[in-house]
């Protein structure tokens, strides 16, 4: 059994008998097994993948024998909140509910979110994500006044600091009722456009939702911006803003990318309503991201001593069957919306497999944390293993899905541009001084 892997300092080598997945190696013709795996030799030079070829029955004499270890492309995390991250020790959710999370975060933001505070917590979060094997990450940025004046400059500085390690994208975040202030909203859109960001908002079933969506779409078209929505993060059957977003996209003939997150209430609605919504979402070309860990944590949270009755996640299987691009992502980490998490996309995929049943069969579900979010973020070389592409991948100990998803794989090897990175996770004590008054 191979326990240690030493890569040559030259950065030129071949990984022999690597176990790769059919959904993530589109150019490989190999005898894939029932789980979608095949053994392959991956040759690397000058930071790129030179070739991927089927392995023979014996390891290459001049290769590094992985003995069947799984190799996946580096992860892409398309829905996070690193500006909120790691505030739990100073501002926990008092009751584990969604309103409790909103109120606690709002209070903390107003009292504590200086540029220094946001910058240090963002950097801490990115070091975690990088060590776990993420190469691209999209974060929402709370943009209610006056926070947008603080957090967007911090984000732009952080994007430059992390360039070449993590590709960062930013999305503004505010309740859609904020778009009623046309002057403020126009200014925010200009700021987002200048930063190369994405226009985002949280939709609620407010009386003027359609009018506000029209304003959001018109503004996005004016500035050439993609769109990102938080929608229907509730068990209320009457929450149908996903359908309203799709109708607005069709009404405006929107040609940019649209990503909608959560969509929890869809799983509670009558079948006829679900089919109507999914038809419109598919026609509008909308992608959907589920946040399984956060949804499981917040949705159906009860205060009467009874057990939750549903898992809180949306209908990803039905969406995928209709050709709707679907992904899963980290969402919140150690803040009032989710008390746990570390921006580890293997953990996200492991939990999604359990919560959303990404197995029996596995099919192409591995794309939900790699290729699909990369496409959503317009990152054309991320999320796959292909000749000519960057040698950015993760080597795991696990040799099958049951091995890979049963342990934390804390000894995984993260390869960036053909070389193993240092995987030292930051210590929580680094943030201790930010957690006191």
Q: Of the listed 148, 233, 247, 409, which one is catalytic?
A: 233
Three-class SS string for the chain?
CCCCCCCCCCCCEEEEEEEEEHHHCCCCCCCCCCCCEEEEEEEEECCEEEEEEECCCCCCCCCEECCCCEEEECEEEEEECCCCCCCCCCCCCCCCCHHHHHHHHHHHHHHHCCHHHHHHHHHHHHHHHHHHCEEEEEEEEECCCCHHHHHHHHHHHHHHHCCCCCEEEEEEECEHHHHHCHHHHHHHHHHHHHCCCEEEEEECCCCCHHHHHHHHHHHHHHHCCCEEEEECCCCCCCCCHHHHHHHHHHHHCCCCCEEEEECHHHHHCCHHHHHHHHHHHHHHCCEEEECHHHHHHHCCCCCCCCCCCCCCCCCHHHHHHCCCCEEECCECCCECCECCCCCCHHHHHHHHHHHHCCCCCCCCHHHHHCHHHHHHCCCCCCCCCCCCCECCEEECCCCCHHHHCCCCCCCCEEEECCEECCCCCCCHHHHHHHHCC
Does residue 211 carry a catalytic annotation? no
Active centre residues (catalytic): 233
């Amino acid at each position: 059994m191979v326990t240690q892997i030493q890569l040559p300092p030259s950065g030129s080598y071949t990984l022999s008998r690597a176990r790769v997945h059919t959904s993530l190696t589109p150019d490989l013709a190999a005898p894939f097994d029932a789980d979608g795996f095949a053994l392959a030799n991956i040759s690397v030079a000058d930071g790129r993948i030179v070739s991927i070829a089927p392995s023979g029955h014996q390891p290459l004499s001049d290769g590094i024998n992985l003995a069947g270890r799984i190799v996946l492309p580096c992860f892409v995390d398309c829905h996070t909140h690193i500006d909120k991250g790691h505030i739990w020790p100073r501002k926990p959710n008092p009751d584990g509910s969604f309103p409790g999370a909103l109120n606690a975060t709002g209070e903390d933001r107003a009292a504590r979110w200086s540029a220094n505070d946001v910058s240090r917590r963002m950097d801490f979060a990115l070091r975690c994500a990088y060590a776990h094997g993420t190469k691209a990450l999209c974060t929402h940025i709370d943009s209610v006044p006056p926070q947008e004046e603080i957090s967007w400059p911090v984000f732009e500085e952080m994007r430059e600091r992390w360039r070449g390690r993590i590709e960062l994208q930013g999305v503004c975040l505010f309740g859609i009722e904020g778009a009623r202030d046309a002057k403020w909203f126009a200014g925010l859109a200009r700021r987002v456009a200048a930063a190369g960001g994405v226009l985002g908002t949280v939709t609620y079933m407010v009386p003027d939702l359609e009018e506000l969506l029209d304003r959001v779409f018109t503004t996005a078209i004016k500035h050439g911006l993609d769109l990102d929505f938080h929608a229907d993060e509730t068990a209320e059957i009457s929450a149908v803003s996903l359908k309203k977003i799709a109708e607005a996209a069709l009404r405006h003939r929107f040609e940019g990318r649209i990503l909608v997150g959560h969509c929890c209430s869809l799983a509670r609605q009558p079948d006829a309503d679900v089919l109507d919504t999914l038809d419109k979402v598919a026609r509008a070309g909308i992608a959907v991201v589920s946040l399984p860990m956060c949804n499981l944590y917040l949705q159906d949270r009860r205060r009467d001593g009874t057990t939750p009755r549903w898992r809180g996640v949306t209908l990803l299987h039905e969406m995928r069957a209709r050709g709707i691009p679907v992904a899963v992502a980290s969402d919140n980490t150690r803040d009032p919306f989710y008390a746990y998490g570390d921006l580890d996309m293997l953990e996200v995929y492991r939990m999604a497999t359990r919560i959303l049943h990404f197995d029996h069969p596995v099919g192409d579900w591995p794309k939900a944390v790699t290729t699909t979010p990369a496409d959503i973020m317009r990152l054309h070389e991320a999320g796959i293993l292909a000749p000519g592409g960057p040698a950015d991948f993760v080597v795991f100990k696990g040799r099958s899905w049951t091995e890979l998803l049963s342990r934390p794989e804390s000894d995984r090897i993260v390869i960036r541009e053909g070389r193993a990175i240092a995987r030292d996770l930051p210590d929580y004590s680094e943030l201790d001084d930010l957690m006191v008054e």
